Structure 1
């Protein structure tokens, strides 16, 4: 997960566009012919898109973009620490 990528997605795409991209990537990830590294790349893209959706929601609820990004990354890091 990369915060600059998440911020770029969040700034340039609507939640609907992000959800559509997620749906496409999730379906593509099921293709049996994919190699492990290709699945890893798709997984990274899905993670960044999910992060962008979450940041979108925080910004929509009144949080600044900077605070929303930081809160999201803090949440991710705390879940890794467990």
Structure 2
């Protein structure tokens, strides 16, 4: 997850387009591809889903900066160090 990428994706595209991209990448991952390609697609999917979630938070009333911070804290809070 890269917050600067999530911010750019959020600003660049509506959630419908982001979800369509996720759908394509998920279909790509179901093909017979290398592990490295799956890793790259997985990272892209993670960032796209983050941007979709930020869209949802903003739609529900949060400012963009608050939504990005909330998402970041949520992800970092789920990591066991």
Segments of 5+ residues of structure 1 without an aligned counterpart are none
Partner of 1:29: 29
Q: TM-score, normalised by structure 2?
A: 0.96
Aligned Cα root-mean-square deviation (Å): 1.0
Matches within 5 A, 1:1-82: 1-32=1-32, 34-81=33-80
Q: TM-score, normalised by structure 1?
A: 0.94
**Deviation at 1:68?**
0.4
**Deviation at 1:81?**
2.2
TM-superposition CA deviations, 1:26-75 (whole Å, max 9, x none):
0001111x111111000000000000000000111111111100100100
Segments of 5+ residues of structure 2 without an aligned counterpart are none
